[in-house]
Chain A
Amino acid sequence: MSARLVPPGARELPALTELRLEVRAFLAEQVAAGAFVPHVDTWLTRWDRDFTRELGRRGWLGMVIPTAYGGQGRTYLERFVVTEELLVVGAPVAAHWIAERQIGPSLLRYGTEEQKQAFLPGISRGEVVFGIGMSEPDSGSDLASVRTRAERVDGGWRLTGTKLWTSGAHEADAFFALARSAPLDPAHRHDGLSQFIVDLRAPGVTIRPIISMGGDHHFNEVHLDGVLIPDDRVLGEVGEGWAQVTSELAHERSGPERVLSTFQLLAAAAQAMDDGRLPTDPGLGRHVARVAALHHMSFAVSTALESAEHGADADTAAAVVKVLGTTGEGDIADYVDTLTATGWALDEELDTLLHAAILQRPGFTLRGGTNEILRGVIARGLGMR
């Protein structure tokens, strides 16, 4: 039989569609009321703490967190349809995205009882905001080479080093920092790494903005100067940071935000073609088809994660979705750009979305692991490495 990279497809059943339509109706009301202006790449660039808290009140955050920790105790499939609906309408979801997507599940898996009690209810209410402290100036794709040091001190650890490209650190309460807690053994590079829960307001933390090429401030440099981490803020096991971060990345990579960052632009282009403001072109159909197929594919991955029958394969499947999805969402930006001529300014809305999409596009295929790295993951899944 053929090497199957992605689990078999599944049909969405009416109970799930009900939830989808409930979220969709709420979001349509919000747009109509002017609560937010739909945009592209909102899961990284649009912060709205009030909106996030409102989602928490409606039970659409912390969906997979058990009720005992303030969550909804629902399934990954339900979370999946809620996140899809939020993304396609271009809602401002950056404030909760990281905490909700990967910090919650990591805490559930590796956190102590006290840590779960301390963070999960706030994450589910949309009040506790997290960032990701993985990358560094000299450690991008080669994440195991991180140099941030964790030194054992009385009652805890001291962290020293620089984290880079930390999205939203200037707004966040905390991040998980990956640091070297034991000297590098070149024969076992993945050993000796640990994860720490760092309070970004703690003494010794300095956050400096890094301005993106469009002039906006989304990510940061976070300098850690001997920041004291009490023992009860170590995540999981000391020395097991690599396994933990790999499991966190599986959550980071597999979601619909890897397909839908430019959906609002695609939708606006469809409208512009209907109105005659853009030339009718079969490229629209091609992109719509790919988005539709990726919607089915990521639903299949979610179903498999839920049923756990294919759990072991989900890393490869997530890489497939992310390579295809991030390439496609960037191609949509470029495609719409090729349809518009300079001097064409008939549509403010489309113009705004297009420019933002083009400026955000280079990041799509980098963040969360570059597509070159992910092709390597896929090649491994195919048995080539």
Chain B
Amino acid sequence: MTDRPAWRGLADPTTPDPDLVAVLTELFTDYRSARPTPTAVVDLDRRLWQRLEDLGLTRLTGSETAGGSGGGWVDAAALLGLAAAAAAPVPLAEHDVLGGWLLEAARLPNDGGLRTVCRPDPSGVALNVTWARDASRIVALWEDRDQWRVSDVTVDRVGIEERRNLAGEPSDTVEFDLDDLEAGTVVAHEIGEQFHLRGALARSAQVVGAMERVVEVVLEHVRERQQFGRPIGRFQAVQHLVSDIACETALARAATDAAVARAAASDWRDPGMLFAVGVAKSCVGHAASVVVRGSHQVLGAIGTTLEHELHTLTRPILARRSEYGSLQDWDETLTALASSAGRDRLWSLITTGRAKAHRTT
């Protein structure tokens, strides 16, 4: 191509496959229009899961040889975000992006049966394991004397105490038999380290997707709701609240997309991933405070009711921002990276994720 514009050699816009986005948008619009009114407790939607499975979406990121669809992180983040925007109760992050990946890393077979994932403590107990009661198997990543082991344990071999998280979703306590964990396959150290980062970024993608839907819900409301003889969106105070919600959401989106793009471009090998994921987790977490508070304020009393869509978004936003590290944990991680970069390398840390500049040639 002779008329390729100069900027093409300088910047590479990162966008998900438009065909995939079209399919997902249709799928989740359908789902939203047909679903029953919101409930306080949320259970797995097996029909939706089946539909996703038929479309190859429950194994989107699995390699094709392992029965997956060979999708990358950019597409996976789009799927997680759109599913979260529809408040779809399906374990896409646990089953595919995390569990499926661990099984492949350990070269363990994957029969496609529904899985969740967790990191049990030394005594074999894992807390807040989302969807554990619904899974056929639980993929466990376990640290055993400086080694990481992956086991794919059938649910009949674990003890499950049923609990629910802030979003009303299954978030169970799981107790493993130590023999099953000790029999796990040893995986490379990076796998153990990456698991936390992948989990944190998957959660960020979900929270951003949900926040984007909150912005839509808010905009619909301020156009329709009338007070003092006009739509409340005409009031400047309301406009400024909504603008702040939208700005924080956009910032969280920029941070998450940047981390996803870096992960996709390097297959998670880029040494700047810790910083990039931390930036996403921090911006997403702080945005959540503004978005949840502001959206409930704009919606008024109706937004606090069970029948309204808003809590199906705001509850998962808050539940997920604290998974794979609290906001405070991540801000502390970033603080440590920034202070050890020091005055002269802070900017290098921000642009590359590493304190030392590298030519990328």
Contacts and interface: CB of A to CB of B under 8 A. Distances in A.
14 contacts: A2-B216, A9-B254, A20-B351, A75-B7, A78-B10, A88-B347, A282-B332, A282-B334, A283-B331, A293-B255, A293-B283, A378-B243, A382-B219, A385-B239
Given A8-B13, A9-B13, A270-B338, A263 B347 contact: yes
A335 to B, nearest CB: 12
Contacts of A17: 359-360
Contact of B339 (A11, A284, A324): A284
Contact of B278 (A8, A78, A289): A289
Most buried by A among B213, B239, B339: B339
A271 B11 contact: no
Given A284-B335, A384-B242, A8 B15 contact: yes
Contacts of B222: 384
A190 interface: no
A285 B10 contact: no
A270 B361 contact: no
A292 B14 contact: no
Interface in A285-306: 285-286, 288-297, 299-300, 302-303, 306
Nearest to B329: A282
Given A21-B357, A293-B254, A270 B328 contact: no
A16 interface: yes
B333 interface: yes
B236 interface: yes
Interface in B240-269: 240, 242-244, 246-248, 250-255, 257-258, 261-262, 265
Contacts of A299: 11
A13 B240 contact: no
Contacts of A78: 10
A11 B272 CA distance: 14
A142 interface: no
B102 to A, nearest CB: 27
A338 B250 CA distance: 28
Contacts of A263: 347
A254 to B, nearest CB: 14
A317 B214 CA distance: 19
Given A28-B344, A382-B246, 5 more contacts: A21-B359, A263-B347, A289-B283, A292-B279, A379-B240
A42 B341 CA distance: 23
How large, as a class, is the contact surface on chain A? 35 or more
Contact of B331 (A20, A285, A384): A285
A296 B11 CA distance: 12
A241 B179 CA distance: 78
Interface of A: 1-3, 5-18, 20-21, 24, 28, 74-78, 88-89, 263, 266-268, 270-271, 273-274, 280-286, 288-297, 299-300, 302-303, 306-307, 320, 323-324, 372, 375-376, 378-379, 382-385
A267 B347 contact: yes
B271 interface: no
B255 A303 contact: no
Interface of B: 5-7, 9-15, 25, 85, 212-213, 215-216, 219, 222-223, 233-234, 236, 239-240, 242-244, 246-248, 250-255, 257-258, 261-262, 265, 275, 278-279, 282-283, 286, 328, 330-344, 346-347, 349-351, 357, 359-361
Q: Which 10 A-B residue pairings sit nearest by Cβ, starting from the closest?
A: A285-B334, A282-B331, A289-B282, A271-B343, A379-B239, A293-B255, A285-B335, A285-B331, A9-B257, A297-B254
A356 to B, nearest CB: 16
Provide the main secondary structure of the chain A interface. Answer: helix
Contacts of A307: 5, 7, 13
Contacts of A89: 347
A292 B286 contact: no
A382 B331 contact: no
Contacts of A291: 350
Given A286-B331, A289-B278, A320-B247, A12 B10 contact: yes
Given A270-B346, A288-B350, A379-B243, A15 B340 contact: no
A297 B6 contact: no
A18 B239 contact: no
Contacts of A282: 328, 331-332, 334-335
Contacts of B13: 7-10, 300, 303, 307
A295 B265 contact: no
A283 B212 CA distance: 26
Nearest to B244: A375
B9 to A, nearest CB: 5
A204 B255 CA distance: 51
Contacts of B250: 5-6, 297, 320
B246 A5 contact: yes
A143 B334 CA distance: 42
A292 B278 CA distance: 10
A267 B243 CA distance: 30
A16 B7 CA distance: 9
Contacts of B236: 376
